[in-house]
Structure 1
Amino acid sequence: MNQQELDGILQKAAELKVFCEYGERTVPVLDEIASFVREISPAIEDLRAVVEVSMVNIPKAADQLGRVTQATEQASTDILNTLDRMVATLDEVITSVASGMISSDLGAATKKMAAIVKSLVDKSGWDEDIVKLAEAWDIHLQSMRMSGPTSNLERLLKDLQSDCTEIMMALQVQDITQQHIGAVMGTIQAVAEGLQQLTTGFFSTSSAEALPPTPSMPVQFEQENVGEAERKKMVEALLSKARAGQI
């Protein structure tokens, strides 16, 4: 064995020593990383199960909110249409009652008419025809008292119309509620999309299989004959790179 071959063997031994020292430093770190991965694996599996369940339930919740919104909108529309017809009918009834009302002086006129009838009876000496007129007037007056004043009926109808208007105004809040539900549905859909990306990107086995292989560290050996001082420089340079994390 000549000097050149011996120098080559010593150089390779020095380089092997550097890589052995580098391996002794990196192996504990890799062991810690592997231990950490083993510890968090159950938590990751639990998270995966939760995400998968959420991916099923969140679209169902969004669909249910959509159906609730549609049903509420349809019911509100039907109620508003019914109230519109009620208000129109009440307008007609109020107009008919108001136009058919005897004047507000109905009480005074009735009393005046009763006094006139009584005076006629007294002046006629209880004429048979005048007595019949007085009896007919009494019957008519009693029927008017039993039916009640028409002004009270008009007031009740107007109160009912006012109540219908208030209900219509209250139902307008459904539009605001629908807007809020739409915003909630948008948020739920955004969360679902994020969970889907997390599921397909993080938990997917195909993506794990597609991970790039661990890069290799090629070692190039010098073929020329170098002296001991040069080999020490090379070893020191390799150690410096190893300490700096460059290899």
Structure 2
Amino acid sequence: MMMVSGIAIAYFFSIYLLVLFVAVVFVFWSMCRVKSNNKFRKLDQLRIPEFIKTRYLALYPEIEESKFNVIEEGFKDFLGMHLRYKTAYVMPSYAVDALWHLLIDEFNPYYQQLCISTLGYVLSHKAHEKHPTQAQITLYQAQWMQTWKSACLLEQQDPERTCQLPRIFRIDQNVKWKTAQAYELKKLKQNYMQWKNKQLTDLSSTPITFVESTSIGSFSSSSTTDVDTRLHDSNDSHISDSSNSCGSCSSGSD
């Protein structure tokens, strides 16, 4: 009888521990979700100061003033991609990249404060190599596909089945940027599916380590992604690399 009682007590105690564990996990998940939602809400409310807008339009007079809001929203989308999933991405828009450069080069204190307040860390910037090695090309391909995936998911689109380009991929055409990249929706989806399938069938290979978020880069003809062969070289002197494994994304922790 005592043995049966002991077994019953042990059983109910194990159930209690399981329920307690689930409750702790749920509370932790809820807190993280609230924190994430608050960050997205703050990002949504972000407005680039008027003096920065004025400087941007002075540097790029071909851009209509009414179009700056589109570029601003594209930059917020780029931050949102990092907020959704911290890894390295390629900047798909020359117009947004120009704003990114302007913030780093001429308004760096504001840029750092903006990153800290929205992301919790300073987002670094690095241009692609002009003459990339095969390993770098593979890395860039992965960054392009991660960018496509995250941009789609940010707008609640399926990267394999979406019927339209995410906003950040449409901006250059929208604002009539002089070197606008014309992306093909069908080709991007095909490239993404090919890349995804390769990841699933190549699990034994060395995992890709994402290093730095970059501007539009230059790929060789062996690349599986159709991108502009012009390199937008930043020569950025404000790169702030992380001490953790995600060197692209932070100079601090969440």
TM surpasses 0.5: no
TM-score, normalised with respect to structure 2 = 0.22
Q: Which has the higher helix share?
A: 1
The one of the two structures with greater contact order (alpha-carbon pairs below 8 A, sep at least 6) is: 1
TM-score, normalised with respect to structure 1 = 0.23
